[in-house]
Structure 1
Amino acid sequence: MTETADPLVERLRAAGCVFAEDEAALLREAASGAALEALVVRRVAGEPLETLLGWAAFDGLRVAVAPGVFVPRVRTELLVELGVEGLPAGAVVVELCCGVGAVAAAIRARRPDAEVWASDIDPDAVAVARRNLPPGRVLEGDLYDALPAALRGRVDLIVANAPYVPSDEIAFMPSEARDFEHRVALDGGADGHAIQARIAAGCGQWLAPGGRAIIETGERMSARTASLLEAAGLVVRVVRDEERDATAVVGVLG
């Protein structure tokens, strides 16, 4: 006997949703009736599923998201795994360009003893990050300028998924990012390294001896990202995770 097709699944599949069955189940979990239909219309129009649900799955957590903010990607879970490796007891952790604070929240969940801070220049992202982290630990401002001066020289881990898409390549990004996420969360400057360079240049003043800086980057961009941390006096290694299509550069301050 042939199973009856699910009309919601068919609508989502026709709109190009690869995981239409999973998305249909999540949308039905979130709403029903007219409210569900409204969500489906927005999804078919291309709005990210996570924005519609109000959360994104990340490292075993459901982290809050909202329209316009950067939705955390699975590949960024690599930063969490690398970050908690060898993290000392009571470590001070700072996530720069935190977006919704997904990395900071995941590290805090894995290591409740850590003193975790986060900062971002986008006030909308900061507002959401304060839902995922203790609000007083999420600061609005430009990179290190947002941090309390008392953290200078005491940070055991700086972690950042800074924007690294070259400005001219944003037009070629998937619509879910290009059309629905703030440009400030995507634009890495002419070569994609503008913000990474500023993070690298300042990290030596904030890291404790033996502290680490970990920056997500593109696979083809990793050599340049590594050179920026090397120029700041860090000993670096490039980590590639093929399963997640993720690349990160880890620098250690001697």
Structure 2
Amino acid sequence: MWLNQQQISDVAIQGFRKSLKRSCPNHIVIDDLFTQAKLDEVLRMLKQSHDWQPQKHTYSALYVSNTQWQKTNNAERFVRRDVWRRNTVNANTANTNNFETNIAQDFLSYLRGNEFMTLLSAIFKVPLTDINVARPEINTNYFRLGPKDFVCEHADDSPGREVCMLLYLNKEWNHNAGGELIFNSNKERPVSIAPLHNRCVLFDPSSEGSEHWVKKLNCEFAETYRYNVTSWYWSE
């Protein structure tokens, strides 16, 4: 069981809806939404060095090659991070680690499954479905940022995209380490959300002020990486 049942009662969902409507951008922060023990197994897997690869985006093109990246000026670069390579298992990995790999993959599948998408549909009051999504699996994955990485200001809105989810997997995160999610809803007092373990952020990417970025890590306080799951959901 992936979900913490105490966090998904009818009363809790009603509270999430109210918070969503009152906030700018339309977002909610839910701590301890998932079962802690299972996330611990996922995090143990992610802290292994294999099955990660660099990912780079520019404002004009996603998934650019190193050659394209070098030709792009700094102002046009907006993402440099590592992405987890789904469905890969190191041939030299021990059986217990194979089990952990399956747990990590199973969690990604769960986040695109009926139970979780039904919960999101109830919170946002919109029917979510992957029926018209060509490759739904690429819209849910693990990412990690190191002190030299960055996610600059951008918007996640696109036609039919209704919900964006961020789930953080950083135990004992130092409050001086950086890595906060920043919404540009109010330039004088932007919304800042720390990437604490088992903290889930849900937001409407088409709502006002939903442009966002990630505060760079402070290598003096941060662990080697900042881990999270990102997932995007569409309506029909």
TM-score by length of 2: 0.23
Instruction: Give the structure with the larger helix fraction.
Output: 1
Instruction: Give the structure with the larger strand fraction.
Output: 2
For the pair shown, the structure with the greater C-alpha radius of gyration is 1
TM-score by length of 1: 0.21
Per chain length, whose mean CA-contact separation is higher, i.e. which structure has more relative contact order (CA < 8 Å, sep 6+)?
Answer: 2
